[in-house]
């Protein structure tokens, strides 16, 4: 019988499937706080049984930071849910063992498991907006954890909650304890989540993508906070993320997941110094940085395979340059699990697994003819043509202001204004990319929308916006609509910006019908086919809906929609912020290729400095509605003059120290 976690009863597992004696023999002096062994998790779905985890084995030592990395859909968050026994209703544990401080969690009744959650093992979820109860004050949510897992009650529990808010860096904790989640910023909500997770001082913390949606400065504060609290409490931490730079900064050991399995485990220094699995090597090659700015990134083709399949081969074979026939007909085990003998590696003429890795490259029993080869050094390809600085100005923005009115009273009288953008000026030349960087709330997205005159009904706009010398801010009606053919926008979330009720053909054709009335139906159809080919989507996708595509594919469709009317300038609003490293590389390569082929200019709004280093020709730094520094990418990134720019660059986590 499979394990379900929705009953307040002892969990029972079939003796044929679950054997506690197979779990690691833990002694009182065992350094590991958490050990998962042979963990198999399945989810019932309309497409069949999804084998979300397939034989996962991992351990976390006391006071250690253990990082779990990989693409979306590889099983990282499902591992966390299984360890916490928080699987969805359609999920079950088919086999395995989870030992927390020498106690088997999978056989505990739910009432006792609730005592372990929060008390002995805490979790920080990825999205605090959906994890915090919107109808409860944040103080009540922290107090609930304290009352449940400690002896404190009443005023003492509330005082402890205030102490935790102070400890995680919430200003005025005595007042903010009575705030609701919506009254706090994203970074503050994440800090509240940390306070809730740590309020009972657990021995183990699982942090699931705790900084994914945060700016680099807020991210640095959260990471420093976690390290400080870990040091104070002596707790172990499992960090789940796809940001390798964060892992390099935080982790002692790293496990790389792919398609429900762990494919490589190593000390952080080994993993970043010499990754062994072809998937790990490709992930490093896909990271954007200044040293790669004139060449395409090594994007990984394809996606993680569906986990409903019955795998009888290497799961990465279809995406691997090194794969051979043996990889497609055999399942690779973990090689290099035993103690590593450096003298054997010196004597061997073949690649040796210096740490556990799931790849036949390191199988000592295979002949040279059967064994796959290590991926060759990446061929960089032809250098990209970079456009020299030009005196011609495609877009000129002069003293742009966007002030949102504050209305109060029954009559909604205007009592003040929020100065979201306050006197911004910049220009973009044809074929060049200007990166607009800064913290959330500084006015980046508002600036982008104001350029397209999308905020006229919501705010008071001032200043001048000229596209090819034409004043967009003075145009109305049909004249403005015609001018928008020259400037388009790619929004941050393609799932929210693509109409779920429209097919791809209708989404792409909508702009053509509106802005290119000179094209007839057959010409529009030919244009759609060309657009899909340009962004790397097959032509048959034209009749599908947005939900039938992956996140990277939806972003490609959003790019195709922006390109449909042949604009001269595209505003890219965080188009890669929610994407995995491999998908991000595909999108950045596509944007560069389109710029080279079509001469498009980009206003690229982002807080990812790695993307800026790779993509931008010019950089403008924005703080509280104003641009405080701008210049070429080399000037701003290598010789920052403003104190904020210096602090922004100093906060960026990097794989290699500058």
Listing DSSP states for 553-604 in one string gives HHHHHHHHHHHTT--SEEEEESTTTTS-HHHHHHHHHHHHHHHHHH--EEEE
Using DSSP, state whether 236 is helix, strand or coil. strand
Helix axes 521-534, 551-563, angle to 10 degrees: 130
According to DSSP, residue 22 is labeled G
Task: Specify the 3-state DSSP secondary structure of 627.
Answer: strand
Region label for 435, one of left (φ > 0), alpha (ψ between -120 and 50) or beta (otherwise): beta
Strands 618-623 and 626-632: antiparallel
pLDDT at 616 over 90: yes
Q: What are phi and psi of 425, to 5 degrees?
A: -135, 135
116 versus 347: the higher-pLDDT residue is: 116
Q: What is the pLDDT of residue 390?
A: 57
DSSP state of 621: E
Tell me the β-bridge partners of 145.
none
pLDDT at 168 over 50: yes
Q: What's the token pair of residue 265? A: 């485990």
Placement of tokens 């919506």 in the chain: 182
Q: What pLDDT is attached to residue 225?
A: 85
| Beta carbons within 10 angstroms of residue 236's beta carbon | 25
- 111-125, 238-252, 469-483, 529-543: which has the minimum mean pLDDT? 529-543
pLDDT at 49: 92
How far apart are the C-alpha atoms of 568 and 575, rounded to whole Å? 18
How sure is the predictor about 605, in pLDDT bands with cuts at 50, 70 and 90?
Answer: very high
pLDDT in tens, 267-291: 999 999 999 999 999 999 888 887 8
Q: Are strands 395-408 and 460-467 parallel, antiparallel or unpaired?
A: antiparallel
Give the pLDDT of residue 7. 35
Asked if the model's pLDDT at residue 376 lies above 70, the reply is no
CA gap 656, 68 in Å, rounded: 19
List 37's β-bridge partners, or say none. Answer: 97
Q: Quick one: tokens of 52?
A: 């979300």
Determine how β-strand 65-69 pairs with β-strand 253-258: parallel
Domains of the chain (ranges plus CATH)? 395-650 (3.40.50.300)
Any idea what DSSP says for residue 383? P
Q: How far apart are alpha carbons 441 and 443 in whole angstroms?
A: 6
Q: Which residues contact 267 (CB under 8 A, 6 or more apart)?
A: 252, 253, 254, 355
- Tell whether the model's pLDDT for residue 79 goes beyond 60: yes
Long-range pairs for 168-174 at CB < 8 Å and ≥24 separation? Answer: 168/192, 168/194, 168/195, 168/225, 168/229, 169/221, 169/225, 170/195
What tokens were used for 333?
Answer: 């085990």
Secondary structure element (H or E) that encloses residue 605, with its range? strand 601-606
pLDDT tens, residue by residue, 175-215:
999 999 988 877 788 889 889 998 988 999 999 988 776 77
pLDDT of residue 656: 62
Measured in whole angstroms, the distance separating CA 346 from the mean position of its chain's CA atoms is 39
Helix axes 216-233, 643-650, angle to 10 degrees: 50
Average pLDDT of the chain, as a whole number = 86
User: Model confidence over 285-296: pLDDT tens digits?
Assistant: 888 887 888 788
Residue 306 has pLDDT above 70, yes or no: yes
Kindly tell me if the per-residue pLDDT of 491 is higher than 90. no
Q: What angle do CA 444, 447, 448 make, to 5 degrees?
A: 90
150: Cα within 13 Å, side-chain hemisphere: 19
Secondary structure of 470-490 in HEC code, one letter for each residue: EEHHHCCHHHHHHHHHHEEEE
Question: Average of pLDDT values for 407-431?
Answer: 89
The residues pairing with 93 across neighbouring beta strands, listed in sequence order, are 3, 41
Q: What pLDDT does residue 330 have?
A: 94
Angle at 571 between CA 568 and CA 572, to 5 degrees: 125
575 has pLDDT over 90: no
Within 8 A by CB and 6+ apart from 273, the residues are: none
Q: Which residue has the tokens 């004249």?
A: 479
The predicted model scores a pTM of 0.81
d(CA 164, CA 169): 9
Specify whether the CB–CB gap between 105 and 99 falls below 8 A: yes
Residue 465 in this model has a pLDDT that exceeds 80 = yes
* Res 373: pLDDT: 85
Pull the structure tokens for residue 66: 């253990």
């Amino acid at each position: 019988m499979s394990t379900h976690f929705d009953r307040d009863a002892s969990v029972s597992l079939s003796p044929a499937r679950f054997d506690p004696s197979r779990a690691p023999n833990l002694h009182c002096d065992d350094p590991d706080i958490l050990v998962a062994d042979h963990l198999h998790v399945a989810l019932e779905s309309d497409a069949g049984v999804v084998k979300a985890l397939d034989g996962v084995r991992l351990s976390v030592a006391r006071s250690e930071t253990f990082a779990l990395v990989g693409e979306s859909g590889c099983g990282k968050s499902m591992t966390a849910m299984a360890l916490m026994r928080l699987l969805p209703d359609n999920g079950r544990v088919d086999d395995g063992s989870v030992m927390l401080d020498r106690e088997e969690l999978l056989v505990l009744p739910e009432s006792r498991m609730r005592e372990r959650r929060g008390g002995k093992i805490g979790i920080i979820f990825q999205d605090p907006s959906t994890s915090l109860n919107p109808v409860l004050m944040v103080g009540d949510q922290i107090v609930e954890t304290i009352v449940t897992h400690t002896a404190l009650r009443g005023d003492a529990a509330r005082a402890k909650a205030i102490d935790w808010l102070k400890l995680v860096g919430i200003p005025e904790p005595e007042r903010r304890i009575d705030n609701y989640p919506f009254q706090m910023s994203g970074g503050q909500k994440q800090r509240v989540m940390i306070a809730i997770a740590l309020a009972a001082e657990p021995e183990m913390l699982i942090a699931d993508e705790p900084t994914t949606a945060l700016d680099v400065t807020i991210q640095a504060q959260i990471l420093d906070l976690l390290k400080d609290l870990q040091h104070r409490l002596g707790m172990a931490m499992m960090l789940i993320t796809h940001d390798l730079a964060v892992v390099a900064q935080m982790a002692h050991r790293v496990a790389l997941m792919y398609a429900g399995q762990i494919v490589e485990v190593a000390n952080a220094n080994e993993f970043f110094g010499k990754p062994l699995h072809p998937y790990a090597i490709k992930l490093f090659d896909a990271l954007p940085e200044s040293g790669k700015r004139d060449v395409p990134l090594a994007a990984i083709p394809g996606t993680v395979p569906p986990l409903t399949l019955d795998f009888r081969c290497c799961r990465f074979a279809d995406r691997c340059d090194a794969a051979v026939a043996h990889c497609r007909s055999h399942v690779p085990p973990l090689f290099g699990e035993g103690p590593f003998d450096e003298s054997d590696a010196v004597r061997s003429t073949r690649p040796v697994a210096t740490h556990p890795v799931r790849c036949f490259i390191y199988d000592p029993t295979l002949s040279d003819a059967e064994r796959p080869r290590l991926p060759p050094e990446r061929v960089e390809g032809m250098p990209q043509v970079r456009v020299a600085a030009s005196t011609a100005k495609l877009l000129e923005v002069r003293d742009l202001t966007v002030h949102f009115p504050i209305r109060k009273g029954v009559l909604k009288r205007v009592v003040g204004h929020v100065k979201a953008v306050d006197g911004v000026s910049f220009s973009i030349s044809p074929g060049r990319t200007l990166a607009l960087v800064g913290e959330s709330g500084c006015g980046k997205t508002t600036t982008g929308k104001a350029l397209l005159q999308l905020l006229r009904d919501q705010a008071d706009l001032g200043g001048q916006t000229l596209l090819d010398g034409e004043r967009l801010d003075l145009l109305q009606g049909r004249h403005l609509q015609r001018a928008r053919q020259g400037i388009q926008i790619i929004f941050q979330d393609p799932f929210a910006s693509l109409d779920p009720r429209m097919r791809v053909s209708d989404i792409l054709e909508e702009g053509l019908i509106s802005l290119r009335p000179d094209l007839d139906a057959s010409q529009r159809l030919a244009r759609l086919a060309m657009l899909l080919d340009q962004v790397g989507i097959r032509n048959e996708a034209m009749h599908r809906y947005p939900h039938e595509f992956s996140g990277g594919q939806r972003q490609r469709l959003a790019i195709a929609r922006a390109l449909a009317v042949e604009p001269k300038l595209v505003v890219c609003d965080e188009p890669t912020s929610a994407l995995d490293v491999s998908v991000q590389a595909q999108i950045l390569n596509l944007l560069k290729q389109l710029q080279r082929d079509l001469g498009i200019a980009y206003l690229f709004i982002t807080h990812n400095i790695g993307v800026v280093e790779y993509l931008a020709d010019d950089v403008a730094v924005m703080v509280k509605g104003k641009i405080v520094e701008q210049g070429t990418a080399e000037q701003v990134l290598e010789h920052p003059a403003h104190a904020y720019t210096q602090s922004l660059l100093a906060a960026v986590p990097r794989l290699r120290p500058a």
